[in-house]
């Protein structure tokens, strides 16, 4: 048995939102070991400079590579938009040197933006796609670029929804205030008659029923967490690196700070008990 198959999938995020990706992975790949890192001490990343985000991303990547993960999943939209190349470069791990040649193991790096863009292109019949996200993600234009790389004819309409993250963390998934705010944010997107809407933030899947209700049943919602799990499952299948053990998988959670109400919010995102959370400093 190839020992690589038993190694964990590494998932990281600027905070707690990436737990929706972990949840989707647990459901889609129930035998895979998972290591999660949430940079809860330094969240939010959206207001940080490009250099700072790259530095943080490098530190987290090095931490997870040392944990011998077989795949890296960048669950943070801001890191995916800004620091993707830094992460990929660090994921090429020298494993040996033979006759002056470096043997490098390339740890695959998957990120939410490309995953969601692919799913959006697959599902859209009219090529009219809406994207909602945090201001930092929308301003980066990363989703529009990723979608246009896959299909030049696609029309992308982006909308920042800055209040969604605090509302989700408050647990107000179907609160009248959330509904009013969502209707206001989505007005313009609905006016553009999109047939597909990308939920471009890992917090947003928790608002899915509400958003679907506002957009209408004819609009396909692209859940970034589910898109990520599907693409991870396809890659594991292609490379034949699925965990062959029949023992229950190990789930390990690392954070850089344990903020107030972390356990409550974390379990809401994960849809199950969080288990042991280990505090580390990078």
CATH of the domain at 211: 3.40.50.1860
176 and 213 fall within a common domain: yes
Q: Tell me which of 9, 35, 73, 76 is the catalytic residue.
A: 76
190 and 272 fall within a common domain: no
220 and 196 fall within a common domain: yes
Is residue 161 annotated as a catalytic residue, yes or no? no
Domain end, chosen from 209, 224, 239, is at 224
9 and 99 fall within a common domain: yes
* Per-residue tokens: 171: 């647990």
8 and 95 fall within a common domain: yes
Return the pLDDT at 95: 54
- Report whether pLDDT(274) > 80: yes
116 and 219 fall within a common domain: yes
Main-chain dihedrals φ then ψ at residue 13, nearest 5 degrees: -150, 160
Report the C-alpha gap between 148 and 267 in whole angstroms: 36
Tally the domains of the chain.
2
Three-state DSSP class for residue 103: strand
Return the pLDDT at 1: 40
Is residue 165 within 8 Å of 14, Cβ to Cβ? no
Return the pLDDT at 246: 80
Report the C-alpha gap between 19 and 22 in whole angstroms: 5
101 and 158 fall within a common domain: no
Domain end, chosen from 207, 224, 241, is at 224
Span 107-146, pLDDT tens digits: 999 998 999 999 999 999 999 999 999 888 898 899 999 9
Domain end, chosen from 182, 208, 224, is at 224
Q: Please, which pLDDT band fits residue 98 given cuts at 50, 70 and 90?
A: very low
Q: What is the mean pLDDT of residues 82-95?
A: 84
Share above pLDDT 90 across residues of the chain, in percent, rounded to a whole number: 68
Q: What is the mean pLDDT of residues 213-234?
A: 94
Provide the domain limits for residue 123.
112-224
85 and 135 fall within a common domain: no
Return the pLDDT at 94: 62
Share above pLDDT 70 across residues of the chain, in percent, rounded to a whole number: 94
Is residue 76 annotated as a catalytic residue, yes or no? yes
105 and 125 fall within a common domain: no
- Other C-beta atoms within 10 Å of 50: how many? 11
Q: Tell me which of 161, 201, 219, 227 is the catalytic residue.
A: 201
141 and 214 fall within a common domain: yes
- Report whether pLDDT(102) > 60: no
β-pairing, 109-111 with 155-160?
unpaired
Return the pLDDT at 259: 76
Q: What is the mean pLDDT of residues 193-202?
A: 95
- Other C-beta atoms within 10 Å of 239: how many? 13
Return the pLDDT at 145: 95
Q: What is the mean pLDDT of residues 226-252?
A: 92
205 and 244 fall within a common domain: no
- Report whether pLDDT(104) > 60: no
204 and 123 fall within a common domain: yes
């Amino acid at each position: 048995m190839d020992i690589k198959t038993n190694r964990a999938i590494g998932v990281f995020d600027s905070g707690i939102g990436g737990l929706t990706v972990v949840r989707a992975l647990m459901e889609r790949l129930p035998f895979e070991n998972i290591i999660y890192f949430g940079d809860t001490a330094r969240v939010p990343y959206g207001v940080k400079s490009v250099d700072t985000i790259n530095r943080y991303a490098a530190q987290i990547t090095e931490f997870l590579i040392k944990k011998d993960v077989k795949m890296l999943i960048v669950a943070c939209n801001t890191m995916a938009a800004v620091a993707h190349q830094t992460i990929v470069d660090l994921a090429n791990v020298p494993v040996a040197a033979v006759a002056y040649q470096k043997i490098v193991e390339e740890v695959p790096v998957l990120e939410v933006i490309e995953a969601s863009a692919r799913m959006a292109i697959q599902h859209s019949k009219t090529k009219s796609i809406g994207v909602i996200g945090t201001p930092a993600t929308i301003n980066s234009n990363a989703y529009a670029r990723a979608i246009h790389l896959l299909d030049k004819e696609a029309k992308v309409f982006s909308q920042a929804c800055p209040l969604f993250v605090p509302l989700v963390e408050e647990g107000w998934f179907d609160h009248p205030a959330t509904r009013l705010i969502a209707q206001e944010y989505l007005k313009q997107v609905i006016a553009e008659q999109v047939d597909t809407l990308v939920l471009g933030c890992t917090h947003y899947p928790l608002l899915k029923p509400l958003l679907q209700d506002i957009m209408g049943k004819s609009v396909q919602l692209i859940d970034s967490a589910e898109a990520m799990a599907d693409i991870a499952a396809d890659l594991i299948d292609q490379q034949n690196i699925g965990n062959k053990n029949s023992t229950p998988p190990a789930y390990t959670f690392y954070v850089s700070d344990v903020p107030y109400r972390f356990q409550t919010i974390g379990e809401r995102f994960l849809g199950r008990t969080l288990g042991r959370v280990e505090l580390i400093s990078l």
